[in-house]
Amino acid sequence: MLKTDYIDVARGRTPADLNLTDCRVVDFFRDRVIEGAVVSLYKGYIVGVNDGLEARRTMSLEGSYLCPGLVDSHVHIESSLLSPVEYARMVTPRGTTAVVADPHEIANVLGHDGINWMLRASDGIPLDVYLMVPSCVPATHFDTAGASLFASDLSRFAREDSVLGLGEVMNYPGVLAGDPRMLDKLSLFWEAGKAIDGHAPGLSGRDLSAYALSGIRSDHEATTPAEALEKLDKGMWIMARMGSSARDLENLIPAMDHETVRRMMLCTDDRHPNDIATEGHIDAAIRSLVAGGVPFLDALRMASHNSAQYYGLRRSGAIAPGYRADLVAFTNPEAFSARLVFKAGLLVAEDGKPTGGYAEAGGSVVAPPLRDSVNIKWIEQKDFLIPDEGGDARVIESSPGSIITGASFARPAVVNGYCVSDTARDIVKIFVIERHTGSGSIGKGFIRGLKLRRGAIGSTVSHDSHNMIIAGVDDVSIFKAARRLNAMKGGYVITDGEDVLAELALPVAGLMSDRPADEVIARLAAFEEFFRMEGMPGASPLMTLSFMALPVIPSLKITDKGLVDVDAFEQVSLFRMN
H or E element: which one contains 262? none
d(CA 369, CA 76): 20
The reply to whether 28 falls in a domain is yes
Q: Are residues 157 and 304 in the same domain?
A: yes
Q: Please return the burial class of 426, using the count of CB atoms within 10 Å of its CB with bins 0-12, 13-18 and 19+.
A: middle
Q: Are residues 43 and 76 in the same domain?
A: no
Q: Where are the beta strands (DSSP E) in 160-283?
A: 163-169, 195-198, 218-219, 237-241, 264-267
Per-residue pLDDT tens listing for the chain (578 residues) = 578 999 999 999 999 999 999 999 999 999 999 999 999 999 999 999 999 999 999 999 999 999 999 999 999 999 999 999 999 999 999 999 999 999 999 999 999 999 999 998 998 899 999 999 999 898 888 999 999 999 999 998 988 889 999 999 988 888 999 999 999 999 999 999 999 999 998 999 999 999 999 999 999 999 999 999 999 999 999 999 998 777 899 999 999 999 999 999 999 998 989 999 999 999 999 999 999 999 999 999 999 999 999 999 999 999 999 999 999 999 999 999 999 999 999 999 999 999 965 555 554 455 667 888 999 988 999 999 999 999 999 999 998 867 889 999 999 999 999 999 999 999 999 999 999 999 999 999 999 999 999 999 999 999 889 999 999 999 999 999 999 999 999 999 999 999 999 999 999 999 999 999 999 999 999 999 999 999 999 878 998 899 999 998 889 999 999 999 998 989 999 998 76
Q: How many domains does the chain have?
A: 3
- Are 507 and 520 in contact by the 8 Å Cβ rule? The answer is no
CA angle, 467 as apex, 409 and 486 as ends, to 5°? 120
For residue 553, the model assigns a pLDDT of 85
Q: Where are the beta strands (DSSP E) in 43-86?
A: 45-49, 55-60, 65-68, 70-75
- Are 312 and 71 in contact by the 8 Å Cβ rule? The answer is no
The reply to whether 419 falls in a domain is yes
The reply to whether 343 falls in a domain is no
What are the φ/ψ torsions at residue 189 (nearest 5 degrees)? -85, -30
Q: Are residues 400 and 544 in the same domain?
A: yes
Q: Are residues 273 and 164 in the same domain?
A: yes
Pick the last residue of a domain from 39, 63, 87: 63
Pick the last residue of a domain from 309, 324, 354: 309
d(CA 467, CA 241): 25
d(CA 89, CA 84): 9
Long-range (24+ apart) CB contacts under 8 A made by 310-313 are 310/73, 310/195, 310/217, 310/218, 310/237, 310/265, 311/73, 311/100, 311/130, 311/164, 311/165, 311/195, 312/164, 312/194, 312/195, 313/98, 313/130, 313/164
- Are 416 and 387 in contact by the 8 Å Cβ rule? The answer is no
- Are 285 and 240 in contact by the 8 Å Cβ rule? The answer is yes
The reply to whether 335 falls in a domain is no
**Amino acid symbol at 523:** R
Q: Are residues 287 and 248 in the same domain?
A: yes
- Structural domain boundaries, residue 58: 4-63
Dihedral over alpha carbons 363, 364, 370, 376 (to 10 degrees): 70
d(CA 341, CA 128): 14
For residue 404, the model assigns a pLDDT of 86
Q: Are residues 511 and 565 in the same domain?
A: yes
H or E element: which one contains 339? none
Q: Are residues 50 and 137 in the same domain?
A: no
Directed axis angle between helix 205-213 and helix 225-233, to 10°? 50
Closest CA to 396 of 566, 577, 570, 558: 558
d(CA 35, CA 52): 15
Q: Are residues 425 and 516 in the same domain?
A: yes
Q: Are residues 58 and 73 in the same domain?
A: no
H or E element: which one contains 114? helix 112-121
d(CA 379, CA 299): 51
- Are 408 and 448 in contact by the 8 Å Cβ rule? The answer is yes
d(CA 287, CA 302): 12
Find residue 329's DSSP bridge partners.
Answer: 66, 340
d(CA 267, CA 405): 22
Terminus-to-terminus CA distance in the chain, angstroms? 70
Q: Are residues 215 and 237 in the same domain?
A: yes
Q: Are residues 447 and 529 in the same domain?
A: yes
**Amino acid symbol at 122:** S
- Are 45 and 322 in contact by the 8 Å Cβ rule? The answer is yes
The reply to whether 332 falls in a domain is no
Q: Are residues 274 and 154 in the same domain?
A: yes
d(CA 83, CA 511): 10
The reply to whether 328 falls in a domain is no
Please compute, for residue 187, the number of CA atoms within 13 A of its CA located in the half-sphere on the CB side: 10
- Are 192 and 215 in contact by the 8 Å Cβ rule? The answer is no
Find residue 133's DSSP bridge partners.
Answer: 166
The reply to whether 34 falls in a domain is yes
Farthest CA pair distance, the chain: 89
CA angle, 536 as apex, 533 and 537 as ends, to 5°? 130
Dihedral over alpha carbons 12, 18, 22, 25 (to 10 degrees): -90
Q: Assign 3-class secondary structure to 430-463.
A: EEEECCCCCCCCEEEEEEECCCCCCCEEEECCCC
For residue 493, the model assigns a pLDDT of 98
Pick the last residue of a domain from 15, 34, 63: 63
Which CATH number characterizes residue 286's domain? 3.20.20.140
The reply to whether 396 falls in a domain is yes
Cβ neighbors of 530 (< 8 A, separation 6 or more) are 494, 501, 502
